[in-house]
Structure 1
Amino acid sequence: MLDNDYQIARAFLGLKEDMPPAFYRKLLTLDDPQGARLPRVFELSQEIFDALRPQLTLADLTSFIQAYQRTSSLTNAELWALPSMLRLVCIERLFFAFSAIEADLAHRYVLPRHGKRRHLRPC
């Protein structure tokens, strides 16, 4: 991870540029049991990552989104945010994998629980 920290920093910078606060606030949210309001597209991205890993292909992603939209339509903003949210989920999962190896890494971040998942927030 340390050898590729510049890649992670670049990914975070891209997220910051692609998801300005005003845009982020416009995304539809879902309540979780602890009262957090997370974007619906973030939760969807987690489900996509879980269902399609280890390899996420465009065809599989398209099929997943089409199946989801049979029951609930995504907004244009959510579709626009989807690549960024998938990137965020990948970064989170990478962080948690490394923190399992290096416990000290997890102590530098607040890791609140949201249901079964943990979301990364710097202290």
Structure 2
Amino acid sequence: MNIQTNPNKIEQTSAGFPLVTEAPIRSNFLPEDRLRALGVALAKGEVKDLFGLAPFEFQARIRDSAKKILEVYRSTNAAQAKGETITPAAQWLLDNNYLVEETIFQVKRDLPRRFYRQLPTLTLGDRTVLPRAFVVAWSYVEHSDSSVSANMFKAIVEGFQSVEPMKIGELWALPSLLRFVLIENLRRIAVRVDRTRQMRHIANEVADRVLATDDNADRTR
């Protein structure tokens, strides 16, 4: 049997290669003391940008995230039903999708468009203007590997407030903004996991076609 990598055989696969996905919101992990220092730096305007952030409309983004996560949930569920191997990350989504849907509902309910737009803003080093509380929430997720720790989140908030005290509305919005960023990160990870599954499926399909073609060729010799 002669295994070849013939491009013509690859083109015969039933699906195209999935598009490149957004990177997860993940930078270097910071302990509590450094998160507190980061909060200070954010309040002083010393942070240039937020890792992985691109322009978006808040309500539109949370709706789109809900749609993307549901698509991945359905495709993963269908793949599992067909007997495909499911990664632990994909299994987590299958087991906890109801919690994800509940969290998305809470964000939509607690952060209506008008309220979000009224939150006090700050300007990052790259001239991006964002609600201060949103910047704190995003920075926390970026430097905590999406772990939810009351003490760690408190550290970055306290650091910020040691320079610029937050208003009551901002403090009230913080939990929902944190949920938003966690959902944003889940969306990115879920899409990436699904892309990996699709790529694995395509690779298996290509291998099956190559092996079948070469086996037939060997038998005709």
For 1:57, the aligned partner's letter is S
1:72 pairs with one of 164, 168, 185? 164
Corresponding position: 1:8 with 2:100:
yes
Deviation of 1:96 after TM superposition, in Å, equals 0.6
Distance in 1, matches of 2:176 and 2:151, equals 18
Corresponding residue for residue 56 of structure 1: 148
Can you give the 5+ residue segments of structure 2 that lack an aligned partner in the other structure? Answer: 1-71, 74-93, 196-221
Structure number with larger C-alpha Rg: 2
Distance in 1 (alpha carbons) for counterparts of 2:145 and 2:171: 20
Q: How many residues align?
A: 102
CA RMSD of aligned residues (A): 2.2
Secondary structure at the aligned position of 2:163 is classed as: coil
- 4+ runs deviating over 6 angstroms: none
1:29 CA drift (Å)? 2.5
Q: Deviations over 1:30-72 (max 9, x none)?
A: 4565x76432211110111122335332122222211111122
Q: CA deviation at 1:22?
A: 2.6
Q: Confirm whether residue 93 of structure 1 aligns to residue 185 of structure 2.
A: yes
**Corresponding position of 2:139:** 47
CA distance in 2 between counterparts of 1:17 and 1:64 reads: 25
Three-state SS of the structure 1 residue aligned to 2:192 is: helix
Look up the SS of the partner of 1:52 in the other structure. coil
Distance 1:54 1:27 in 2: 24
Q: Which has the higher strand share?
A: 1
User: Aligned partners of 1:95, 1:54: CA distance in 2, in Å?
Assistant: 13
Residue aligning to 1:18: 110
In 1, the alpha carbon distance for the partners of 2:151 and 2:113 equals 31
**How many angstroms apart in 2 are the aligned matches of 1:54 and 1:5?**
17
Cα distance in 1 for residues equivalent to 2:194 and 2:163: 41
Q: Would you say the 8 A contact 2:133–2:170 is kept in 1?
A: yes
Q: 1:36 to 1:50 in 2, by over 3 A?
A: closer
Letter in 2 for 1:83: P
**For residue 134 of structure 2, what is the amino acid of its counterpart?**
F
Structure scoring higher RCO (CA < 8 A, sep ≥ 6) equals: 2
TM-score (ref. length: structure 1): 0.69
